[in-house]
C-alpha cells in the first residue's frame, strides 16, 4: 500500500463529522466576509463579521495543524507527510492563482489603471499576498515548512511557542492592535512593511504559530482528553473575553482588514477540541468536507466575475444578493463537478 493509498484508507477510518459540518458552515462565513454581507448596517456588520465570520480562518488553520499531526503520528515519516501536505496546497495555488490574477488584471484595467501599476500589483501579490483569498494557501505552505525545519525535524516542540508568540504579536500590531504603535517610530516601520508586503497574515507571522497550536491540540487530544463539560465552559469563557476584546478595539485604529485577534485563537482551539470528540469510521460528511474546500477556492473568482459584470453593465447588486449569488454558484459548480467527475473536481476537494 503506497502513501496515497494509506492516506485514503486512514481518512476513511478517521472521520470527524462535527469538524466537517463546522468547516462547511465556516466556508460561507468566508463568502460573507468577501461579499460584505450586512454592510448596509455598520454596527451589525462589525459585530457579525468580527464575532462570527472572523473565526473561520483560525479554525481552518488549527484543523490543518491537528489533522497533519494526526497523520504524522499514525503513519510516521514526518518529512513525507509535510511534503505531501505542501505539494497538494502548491498544486491548488498553481491552478487558482493565475485565474485570480487574470480577473484582477481585468478589474484594474476597467478602473483605468496603467500597465505598470497592474504588473507591480501582480508581482506584489504573487510574492506576498496572493489574490483570490489564496493567501491562506501560501501561508499554510510556508508555515508548515517553517514548522518542519524549526520544530518537527529536531522535535523541539516548545520552541514553537517561544518563537511563535513574538511572530504572532507582530501580526497583531500590523492588524487589529496597530493603535498601540500608532504615531511612533515603530508605527512608521510597520506602515512601510504593510506597504510592501500588504499584510502580516502570512506563513511567517500567522501560519507558523497557529499551525503549531493545531499540533498542540492534537497532542492534548491524544494524551488525555479534557472532559466535554470543561471544554464547553472554557469555550464560552473565551468567547465572552473575545467579545470584550472586540468591544475594546471597536473604535481603535486598525490596519489591513482588522481580522487578527488574541482571543480568536483560544475560542477556535476550544471549538476544535469539541469538534473532534466524536470520531466515526464512515465518510457520510465527506461531501460537506469537499464543499468547504471547493467553495473557499472558487468563491473569489465568482465574485471577481460578478464585479466585472457590475462594472461593465453599470448595475448595482446588494450585498445580500451578492452573497446569495456567489454562494449558490459556488455550491452548484462544486457539486456538479463532483457528480460528473470532471477533471476540475480533483482541485475542488
DSSP 156-222: -HHHHHHHHHHHHHHHHHTTTTGGGTTTSHHHHHHHHHHHHHS-S-SIIIIIHHHHHHHHHHHHHHH
pLDDT of residue 6: 42
Instruction: State how far the Cα of 201 lies from the Cα of 168, in Å rounded to an integer.
Output: 9
pLDDT, tens digit (0-9, with 9 covering 90-100), for 160-184: 889 999 999 999 999 999 999 999 9
Q: Write down the residue that cell numbers 476550544 correspond to.
A: 270
pLDDT of residue 14: 61
Closest CA to 299 of 103, 45, 122, 106: 103
Work out the percent of the chain whose per-residue pLDDT is above 70. Answer: 96
pLDDT at 248 over 80: yes
Instruction: State how far the Cα of 205 lies from the Cα of 172, in Å rounded to an integer.
Output: 9
Q: Coil, strand, or helix at residue 77?
A: coil
User: Which triple of cell numbers denotes residue 244?
Assistant: 470584550
pLDDT at 11 over 60: no
Instruction: State how far the Cα of 250 lies from the Cα of 120, in Å rounded to an integer.
Output: 33
What is the mean pLDDT of the segment spanning 119-138? 96
pLDDT, tens digit (0-9, with 9 covering 90-100), for 40-63: 999 999 999 999 999 999 999 999
Kindly indicate the confidence band of residue 152, based on its pLDDT and cuts at 50, 70 and 90. Answer: confident
Kindly indicate the confidence band of residue 3, based on its pLDDT and cuts at 50, 70 and 90. Answer: very low
Q: Identify the DSSP state of 258.
A: S
pLDDT at 323 over 80: yes
Determine phi and psi for 259, rounding to 5 degrees.
Answer: -120, -5
pLDDT, tens digit (0-9, with 9 covering 90-100), for 278-306: 777 767 899 999 999 999 999 999 999 99
Domain segments of the chain as ranges = 3-347
Average pLDDT, the chain: 92
Closest CA to 298 of 50, 87, 29, 31: 31
Kindly indicate the confidence band of residue 10, based on its pLDDT and cuts at 50, 70 and 90. Answer: very low
pLDDT at 266 over 50: yes
**What pTM was estimated for this model as a whole?**
0.93
Instruction: State how far the Cα of 293 lies from the Cα of 307, in Å rounded to an integer.
Output: 22
CA distance readout (Å), 64 to 195, 249, 268: 29, 29, 13
pLDDT at 154 over 80: no
Work out the percent of the chain whose per-residue pLDDT is above 90. Answer: 83
280 DSSP β-pair partners: 15
Kindly indicate the confidence band of residue 12, based on its pLDDT and cuts at 50, 70 and 90. Answer: very low
- Using only C-alpha atoms, the chain has a radius of gyration, in whole angstroms, of 20
pLDDT at 7 over 60: no
Q: Virtual CA dihedral for 261, 264, 265, 266, nearest 10 degrees?
A: 130
Do the Cβ atoms of 304 and 103 come closer than 8 Å? yes
pLDDT of residue 36: 96
Q: How far is CA 288 from the centre of its chain?
A: 17
Do the Cβ atoms of 54 and 258 come closer than 8 Å? no
pLDDT, tens digit (0-9, with 9 covering 90-100), for 15-32: 899 999 999 999 999 999
pLDDT at 8 over 50: no
Closest CA to 249 of 201, 178, 170: 178
What is the mean pLDDT of the segment spanning 75-99? 94
Q: CB neighbours of 13 closer than 8 A, spacing ≥ 6?
A: 281
What is the mean pLDDT of the segment spanning 133-146? 96
Q: Coil, strand, or helix at residue 74?
A: helix
Instruction: State how far the Cα of 69 lies from the Cα of 212, in Å rounded to an integer.
Output: 9
Q: Coil, strand, or helix at residue 307?
A: helix
pLDDT of residue 150: 86
Amino acid at each position: 500500500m503506497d502513501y496515497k493509498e494509506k492516506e485514503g484508507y486512514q481518512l476513511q477510518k478517521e472521520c470527524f463529522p462535527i469538524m466537517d459540518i463546522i468547516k462547511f458552515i465556516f466556508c460561507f462565513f468566508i463568502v460573507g466576509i468577501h461579499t460584505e454581507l450586512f454592510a448596509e448596517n455598520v454596527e451589525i456588520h462589525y459585530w457579525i463579521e468580527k464575532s462570527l465570520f472572523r473565526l473561520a480562518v483560525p479554525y481552518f488553520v488549527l484543523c490543518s495543524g491537528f489533522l497533519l499531526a494526526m497523520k504524522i503520528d499514525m503513519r510516521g515519516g514526518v518529512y513525507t507527510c509535510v511534503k505531501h501536505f505542501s505539494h497538494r496546497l502548491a498544486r491548488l495555488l498553481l491552478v487558482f492563482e493565475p485565474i485570480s490574477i487574470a480577473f484582477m488584471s481585468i478589474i484594474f484595467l476597467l478602473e483605468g489603471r496603467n500597465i505598470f501599476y497592474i504588473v507591480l500589483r501582480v508581482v506584489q501579490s504573487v510574492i506576498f499576498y496572493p489574490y483570490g483569498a489564496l493567501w491562506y494557501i501560501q501561508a499554510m505552505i510556508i508555515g508548515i515548512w517553517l514548522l518542519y525545519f524549526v520544530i518537527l525535524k529536531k522535535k523541539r516542540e516548545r520552541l514553537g511557542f517561544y518563537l511563535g508568540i513574538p511572530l504572532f504579536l507582530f501580526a497583531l500590531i500590523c492588524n487589529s492592535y496597530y493603535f498601540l504603535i500608532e504615531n511612533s517610530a515603530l508605527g512608521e516601520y510597520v506602515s512601510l512593511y504593510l506597504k510592501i508586503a500588504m499584510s502580516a497574515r502570512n506563513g511567517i507571522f500567522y501560519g507558523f504559530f497557529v499551525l503549531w497550536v493545531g499540533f498542540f491540540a492534537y497532542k492534548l487530544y491524544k494524551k488525555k482528553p479534557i472532559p466535554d463539560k470543561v471544554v464547553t465552559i472554557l469555550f464560552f469563557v473565551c468567547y465572552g473575553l473575545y467579545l470584550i476584546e472586540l468591544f475594546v478595539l471597536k473604535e481603535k485604529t486598525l490596519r489591513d482588514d482588522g481580522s487578527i485577534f488574541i482571543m480568536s485563537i483560544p475560542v477556535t482551539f476550544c471549538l476544535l477540541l469539541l469538534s473532534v470528540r466524536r470520531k466515526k469510521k464512515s465518510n457520510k460528511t465527506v461531501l460537506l468536507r469537499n464543499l468547504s474546500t471547493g467553495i473557499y477556492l472558487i468563491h473569489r473568482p465568482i465574485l471577481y466575475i460578478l464585479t466585472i459584470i457590475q462594472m461593465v453593465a453599470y448595475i448595482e447588486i446588494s450585498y445580500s444578493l451578492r452573497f446569495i449569488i456567489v454562494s449558490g454558484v459556488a455550491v452548484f459548480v462544486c457539486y456538479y463537478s463532483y457528480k460528473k467527475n470532471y477533471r476540475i473536481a480533483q482541485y475542488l476537494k
